[in-house]
Amino acid sequence: MSSSIWKNYFGQDEVASSGATPPNDKGPAKPLPANWYTSPDMWELERRAIFSRKWMLITHKLRLPTTGDYLVYHIAGYPIIIVRDKDGNFNALHNVCRHRAFPVVTEEQGKARIFACKYHGWSYGLNGKLAKAPGYQDLDGFDKSKNGLFQIHVHVDNTGFIWVNLDAKEQPEIAWEDDTSKVDLQGRFNGVDWDEYNFDHSWETEGEYNWKILADNYTERYHSPDAPSLTNLANSTPEQIAGGLRAASTYYFPNASMTASPHVVFMQRIVPTSATKCMMRYEVYRHKNSSDEDFELINQTYKRIVSEDQDLCTDVQKNLSNGAFAIGESDPQMEKGSLQFQTIVRQLVLEHYNREQDAGREIWPTRQTLPTAATTSEEDMTFCNKLDARAKGSSPASGCCGGTACQSNDTLVF
């Protein structure tokens, strides 16, 4: 793939803000071993260390043009709602009713004035605040203001793309400015007028492979002759440029990519569902002045390449899972992008693992905060965590249950 794919996003400034050290161009490369692509425990750790902490590209505001428009997305097992409210703000909310955890929204997209849970009738405004809780509002001690939907941090960048961060703290541990500094101001997008595109369609496919395999595939600088990358069109011939096949592609850590061309903007999200499975969700934005012929040329080219890449990833996963392959070799130049991706994964995972070892428990940044007064809930959670630790044949450090209940002050896990 074009070197610009990592240079413009995995460049020195952006990598440094992620806490990762760029791979040495001339030194030995250190790719991730096979078991990082097959282990269920590694996948759960990635959910805590990466997907619960990093800013993630979700969609574009063009998909939510009017008040009440909403979309449901899934991020590493977490269902979330993105909605436009009456003030024009974009809100992100966990799709979990605060009463009994039933999904507040059961359709993948739609238009709503309120979000009403179909289980017991709790309802919420488009900003997530609790509007009605039948039978609860007159109970002593029930605080309506503290029972709204769980909020998710949202940032709309300069190009109109919507990003989210699942960290449950009032302010996320990783700030937008520190995580994705100026990624929306790349020079490669100069001349792209995002207002001249309309949302056209979306589709999704299922992959029988670990999410990192597709990321590795996307961020490398070369492909097999049978599966040329669309991002190689960054070095397009005059004939390709004339045909609308010039493209600028970027991979946005951890799990999204975007390819912008004069006629079409494609966005791809890799949605992990387990250690060895994921969904790919695609959104297509068409230039207002693109003819049917020009649009279909690049649209079909992109879809063909996507299909070929997924076939390659499936075959790679089969060999990673059979136990014969332990670790491969990587060219520090030709695979600089994928090595940089793996470096960030490794550092985030190890950093979070060490924090958990020091704390003697798993740390789930997305998990809700409970008040100090919730002693019964804390005792019940502690009891269950002790059972889990015993079943795994481990004993929590320093007498701690190793679970969420051993948190100091008035929080559990953050």
Mean pLDDT score, 161-166: 97
Q: Is residue 190 part of a domain?
A: yes
**Cβ 335 vs Cβ 329: under 8 Å:** no
Q: What region does 128 belong to: left with phi over 0, alpha with psi -120 to 50, or beta?
A: left
* DSSP labels, 187-248: GGGTT--GGGEEEEEEEEEEESS-HHHHHHHHHSS---TTS--GGGGGG--HHHHHTT---E
Q: Is residue 359 part of a domain?
A: yes
Q: Tokens 């909310």 — which residue?
A: 93
pLDDT at 314 over 80: yes
In this structure, are 164 and 246 located in the same domain?
no
Confidence of residue 58 (pLDDT cuts 50, 70, 90): very high
pTM: 0.83
Least confident of 47-51, 231-235, 280-284: 231-235
In this structure, are 42 and 62 located in the same domain?
no
Nearest to 8 by CA among 221, 296, 250, 241: 250
Least confident of 2-11, 256-265, 274-283, 310-319: 2-11
Q: Is residue 414 part of a domain?
A: no
More confident residue, 226 or 374: 374
In this structure, are 154 and 192 located in the same domain?
no
pLDDT > 70 in the chain, percent: 78
Residue 16: what pLDDT? 28
pLDDT (tens digit per residue) in 328-340: 766 666 677 888 8
Number of domains in the chain: 2
pLDDT, the chain, mean = 81
pLDDT at 38 over 50: yes
Token pair belonging to 329: 């070799």
Residue 122: what pLDDT? 95
Residue 331: what pLDDT? 65
Residue 229: what pLDDT? 40
Residue 240: what pLDDT? 54
Mean pLDDT score, 54-62: 96
CATH assignment at residue 63: 2.102.10.10
In this structure, are 119 and 255 located in the same domain?
no
What are the C-alpha distances in Å from 67 to residues 91, 110, 130, 174, 251?
A: 11, 11, 18, 30, 31
CATH assignment at residue 269: 3.90.380.10
pLDDT > 90 in the chain, percent: 53
In this structure, are 299 and 287 located in the same domain?
yes
pLDDT (tens digit per residue) in 170-184: 999 999 988 887 888
Three-class SS state of 298: helix
In this structure, are 193 and 283 located in the same domain?
yes
pLDDT (tens digit per residue) in 260-285: 888 899 999 999 999 999 999 999 99
Nearest to 336 by CA among 56, 2, 17: 2
Q: Is residue 338 part of a domain?
A: yes
Confidence of residue 185 (pLDDT cuts 50, 70, 90): confident
Buried b (16+ CB within 10 A) or exposed e, 78-90: bbbbbbbbeeeeb
Query: Which range is most confident: 29-38, 337-346, 347-356?
Result: 347-356
Dihedral of the CA atoms 164, 385, 40, 10 (nearest 10)?
A: 30
Token pair belonging to 382: 């502690």
Q: How wide is the angle at C-alpha 166 spanned by C-alphas 160 and 168, nearest 5°? A: 130
Give the whole-angstrom CA distance, residue 342 versus residue 332. Answer: 12
In this structure, are 114 and 128 located in the same domain?
yes
Confidence of residue 85 (pLDDT cuts 50, 70, 90): very high
Residue 269: what pLDDT? 96
Range(s) of the domain holding residue 301 = 26-53+186-364
Q: Is residue 120 part of a domain?
A: yes
pLDDT (tens digit per residue) in 391-411: 776 554 433 433 333 333 332
Q: How wide is the angle at C-alpha 130 spanned by C-alphas 129 and 136, nearest 5°? A: 160
Least confident of 21-25, 286-290, 296-300, 383-387: 21-25
Pairing of strands 115-116, 78-84: unpaired
Residue 189: what pLDDT? 80
Confidence of residue 232 (pLDDT cuts 50, 70, 90): very low
In this structure, are 323 and 353 located in the same domain?
yes
Confidence of residue 138 (pLDDT cuts 50, 70, 90): confident
pLDDT at 130 over 60: yes
In this structure, are 37 and 161 located in the same domain?
no
Q: How many CB atoms lie within 10 A of CB 56?
A: 23
Mean pLDDT score, 318-333: 79
Q: What region does 297 belong to: left with phi over 0, alpha with psi -120 to 50, or beta?
A: alpha
Q: Of the residues 173, 195, 220, which one is the last residue of a structural domain?
A: 173
In this structure, are 44 and 192 located in the same domain?
yes
Q: Of the residues 120, 139, 173, which one is the last residue of a structural domain?
A: 173
Q: Of the residues 364, 382, 405, which one is the last residue of a structural domain?
A: 364
Q: How many CB atoms lie within 10 A of CB 241?
A: 13
Query: Which residues have CB under 8 Å from 242's CB, separation 6+?
Result: none
In this structure, are 118 and 44 located in the same domain?
no
In this structure, are 150 and 78 located in the same domain?
yes
Number of helices (H), then strands (E), belonging to the chain: the values are 9, 15
